[in-house]
Structure 1
């Protein structure tokens, strides 16, 4: 069906057209020039030429116009149904060929979910079928209190005999909401922390994974491709081995020569030329806290300037010591 200049179907009046049609009903007609901006009135047969005055348009009674429009709609529906039948008939033998050679019905899929509520629903449904293991990485996003939201869902998974392993950033090791979460959960639960982690993947039973598809996490991919799942699990396991235990038994993070692990992480980013804001974002801290750590690092190393601090970090060997401590 073609569209009119207003971008709508030519046989459906727009709001401006309906207003002019109402005026024509009240006044018995309108000048032809008034209908030029809304040609849909003539296309939909709501106005027709006055036989006694070629410059005048008179309205067709609504009781007559409406059945005409509905008849046109019924014809459109019939045409669409005929088109559906033709396409179904044409594709039927093709579907049989595809089924024999590619087994399309069994092909692993990657689907996308939009809206956080729908994403959470999809995760909940996948977890309801889980019974073995959940692997998750939870980067710090500034609202740790949200970690309490999925307690019931996680506990139900644990009650079915599954285990849960989660990686966080070091910045939440002493977060009250995170600690409260592990005080509430009963079962095989472990948590570790790192300076930096990836975006938030959730892997269930090593068969399905959910990963963010945009920055604000309003889009997520549901992945059921075995090759990709294996990649996600391998990445998680490697990060897990590097992590510092947090729960059920917290390991003390080693301090070397007065330099804390967090300060070493900051030092590593400083010599890469990162700004305070970039360092804070990478390590899940606010900028003020980051600057406090930088000041303590500078004091420990005896630095009097930012440029000198980078030189002293390189000379001190603290980044080499980090690998030995872990």
Structure 2
């Protein structure tokens, strides 16, 4: 059988190591070399550089050490991935001006209504462009873990420009933001029709601009987002925002502070509800926008209020106290 026929019968992806190849490679490692003819049964080993001719005996093949071969193969795959990414970037660059052309012969169904944005630079640019064209309203949901002083500074200029054009801004945060100096300072500086409210929990970051376009976070690290122009989805986002807005506690322009109930603060009530659901301290902190140390302080205070001496007893006392039902009836 010729080497070409052997390769055709042995065809598989060049990133794979077949069973025959694995067996022959292991044998070569154990014995130090294998006959060259045996290599015809697994040409992938030669292609991957796992076997190579013995310089002292051309009739035999010697193995490349796994510690040498693996990094080299991984580097090859990394280069392929990098090349694919460069190819994607080139295609995106070529199609970008074409996507801006609104020809009369383009069918309505061909118009993209959801666009994936990658990288904070592209996301910020898209949001800035959309806000620059807006004149009516900005609805925003901002989780506590997405706030940063630098981001707030950039947003301040954009938002003030929008307010100066007569638009309205409403934003939902989590309760801990009420005590965040950069956010407090932001609202002291903004002039116009701007309101903010807070909740125990909110969704991931959402911006709805003039009810015509929305930006939704698509990754935890905020390096990906969706630009949405689908009418049905925009209606859903607005409806969700309005329902959360009605449940939220005013923070600006006039703050309203919810009173404690039976010695239990609103934040401790939220923690109690999550404790009953079985969440860990870390999960509770993440859900409520707290650091874990602060969450544990509130849990300890709640335990002291209810007279609990253990975590298991705390869950029982929360249920028996009726504080969850009382707060639900209040709201």
Same fold flag (TM > 0.5):
yes
Query: Per-residue deviation at 1:117?
Result: 1.2
Sort the Cα spacing of 1:142 and 1:303 in 2 relative to 1 into closer, same or farther, 3 A.
farther
Who is 2:170 aligned against? 165
Who is 1:252 aligned against? 257
Sort the Cα spacing of 1:241 and 1:219 in 2 relative to 1 into closer, same or farther, 3 A.
same
Find out whether 1:272 has 2:283 as its counterpart.
Answer: no
TM-score normalized by the length of structure 2: 0.67
Are the equivalent residues in 2 in contact too, given 1:148–1:178 (CA < 8 A)? no
CA distance in 1, matches of 2:178, 2:258: 11
Who is 1:141 aligned against? 145
Gaps of 5+ in 1: 1-6, 8-36, 38-95
CA distance in 2, matches of 1:144, 1:150: 10
Q: Deviations over 1:118-137 (max 9, x none)?
A: 10010000001100000000
Q: Deviations over 1:50-70 (max 9, x none)?
A: xxxxxxxxxxxxxxxxxxxxx
CA distance in 2, matches of 1:255, 1:218: 39
Query: Per-residue deviation at 1:143?
Result: 4.6
Structure number with greater Rg is 1
TM-score normalized by the length of structure 1: 0.68
CA distance in 2, matches of 1:162, 1:181: 17
Sort the Cα spacing of 1:188 and 1:143 in 2 relative to 1 into closer, same or farther, 3 A.
closer
Query: Per-residue deviation at 1:147?
Result: 2.1
Find out whether 1:322 has 2:318 as its counterpart.
Answer: no
Who is 2:200 aligned against? 195
Find out whether 1:290 has 2:295 as its counterpart.
Answer: yes
Are the equivalent residues in 2 in contact too, given 1:277–1:287 (CA < 8 A)? yes
Q: Deviations over 1:272-321 (max 9, x none)?
A: 11000000000000110000000000000000110000000001111111
SS at 1:253's partner residue? coil
Who is 2:20 aligned against? none
Q: 1:109 aligns with which of 108, 113, 120?
A: 113
Gaps of 5+ in 2: 1-13, 15-45, 47-102
Aligned length: 231
Query: Per-residue deviation at 1:324?
Result: 2.6
Sort the Cα spacing of 1:144 and 1:323 in 2 relative to 1 into closer, same or farther, 3 A.
farther
CA distance in 1, matches of 2:278, 2:153: 37
Find out whether 1:240 has 2:264 as its counterpart.
Answer: no
CA distance in 2, matches of 1:194, 1:185: 22
CA distance in 1, matches of 2:277, 2:120: 35
SS at 1:285's partner residue? coil
Structure 1 segments of 4+ aligned residues over 3 angstroms from their partners: 102-105
CA distance in 1, matches of 2:240, 2:155: 24
CA distance in 1, matches of 2:148, 2:178: 11
CA distance in 2, matches of 1:300, 1:258: 7
SS at 1:322's partner residue? helix
Query: Per-residue deviation at 1:99?
Result: 5.2
Q: Deviations over 1:147-191 (max 9, x none)?
A: 232111000100111000000000111211000000110000000
CA distance in 1, matches of 2:310, 2:266: 22
Q: Pairwise mapping of residues 41-56 of structure 1 onto structure 2 (< 5 A)?
A: none
CA distance in 2, matches of 1:257, 1:144: 35
CA distance in 2, matches of 1:103, 1:141: 38
Q: 1:227 aligns with which of 222, 227, 232?
A: 232
CA distance in 1, matches of 2:251, 2:124: 26
Q: Deviations over 1:43-99 (max 9, x none)?
A: xxxxxxxxxxxxxxxxxxxxxxxxxxxxxxxxxxxxxxxxxxxxxxxxxxxxx9x95
